[in-house]
């Protein structure tokens, strides 16, 4: 499993850091967790076929996680006609379809009938290559928000998504730590990264920790976690960074 951070910033772009968008590659199959930036451009720059994207999973509907979806479906509707990604929305998928269709129609293009699905807790996707389980979180109230556990090639990776402002002790899906977890990709935009310490310290199941979607005001706490967890590799995501498991 290969994980590439197309965008590692938080609620808005920072210099040299785009908004949240993470590509997962398993063989020739590609999947996105969030699409807050122009991910089609990122794929083209890397020589990755647009048609290889099988699914897009949105953690919640905030723009820094979703603003790239319309542009992606737009280009798939008039240029890359063999692309057929499923899109998983944490809201009414037909309401999302109406909004996106109306926007794309303003360009004179008719949106193709992509498969839009609604996220709910539990296993939401399993194509025999990658399995994805959703855990509801408390970050949003108008529409739901979710963390995702991705399993592929014998590896388990958690994407925390955005958690509630009270911190991970109130909102982190602790059940994922009951089995070996090869990588936890956690946010640090709404609280200090050190608030994860009581959850991870001494847990032998966590093999690696990466902070993504972190803000500059909590950067020192992200760096501090590398000292506080000496037995676990801790890193912070930057745009274009790759982790291979």
Mean pLDDT for the chain overall:
97
Tell me, what's the pLDDT at 157?
98
Q: pLDDT tens-digit profile of 62-77?
A: 999 999 999 999 999 9
Q: pLDDT tens-digit profile of 144-186?
A: 999 999 999 999 999 999 999 999 999 999 999 999 999 999 9
Question: pTM to 2 decimals?
Answer: 0.97
Q: Are 26 and 130 in contact (CB under 8 A)?
A: yes
CA 185, distance to chain mean position in Å, is: 9
Q: Are 244 and 2 in contact (CB under 8 A)?
A: yes
CA 237, distance to chain mean position in Å, is: 12
3-state helix, strand, coil in the chain (%, to 5): 25, 30, 40
30: exposed, middle or buried (Cβ count in 10 Å: 0-12, 13-18, 19+):
buried
The CB-side HSE value for 155 (13 A sphere, CA atoms) comes to 20
Task: Place 192 in a pLDDT band, splitting at 50, 70 and 90.
Answer: very high
Handedness of CA 136, 140, 143, 145 (dihedral sign): negative
Q: pLDDT tens-digit profile of 202-227?
A: 999 999 999 999 999 999 999 999 99
Tell me, what's the pLDDT at 23?
98
Q: pLDDT tens-digit profile of 3-40?
A: 999 999 999 999 999 999 999 999 999 999 999 999 99
Q: What percent of the chain has pLDDT over 70?
A: 100
CA 86, distance to chain mean position in Å, is: 15
């Amino acid at each position: 499993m290969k994980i590439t951070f197309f965008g590692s910033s938080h609620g808005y772009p920072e210099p040299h850091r785009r908004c949240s968008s993470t590509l997962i590659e398993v063989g020739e199959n590609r999947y996105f967790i969030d699409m807050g930036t122009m991910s089609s451009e990122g794929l083209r720059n890397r020589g990755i076929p647009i048609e290889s994207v099988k699914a897009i999973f949105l953690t919640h509907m905030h723009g820094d996680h979703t603003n790239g979806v319309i542009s992606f479906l737009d280009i798939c509707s008039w240029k890359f006609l063999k692309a057929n990604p499923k899109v998983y929305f944490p809201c009414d998928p037909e309401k999302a379809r109406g909004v996106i269709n109306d926007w794309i129609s303003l360009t004179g293009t008719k949106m193709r009938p992509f498969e839009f699905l609604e996220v709910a807790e539990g296993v939401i996707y399993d194509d025999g290559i990658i399995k994805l389980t959703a855990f509801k979180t408390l970050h949003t109230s108008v529409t739901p928000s979710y963390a995702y556990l991705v399993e592929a090639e014998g590896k388990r990776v958690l994407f925390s998504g955005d958690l509630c402002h009270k911190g991970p002790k109130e909102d982190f899906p602790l059940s994922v730590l009951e089995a070996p977890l090869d990588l936890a990709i956690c946010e640090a935009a709404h609280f200090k990264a050190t608030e994860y310490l009581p959850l991870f310290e001494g847990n032998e199941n966590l093999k690696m920790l990466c902070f993504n979607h972190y803000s500059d005001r909590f950067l020192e706490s992200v760096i501090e976690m590398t000292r506080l967890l000496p037995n676990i590799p801790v890193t912070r995501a930057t745009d274009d960074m790759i982790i291979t498991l």
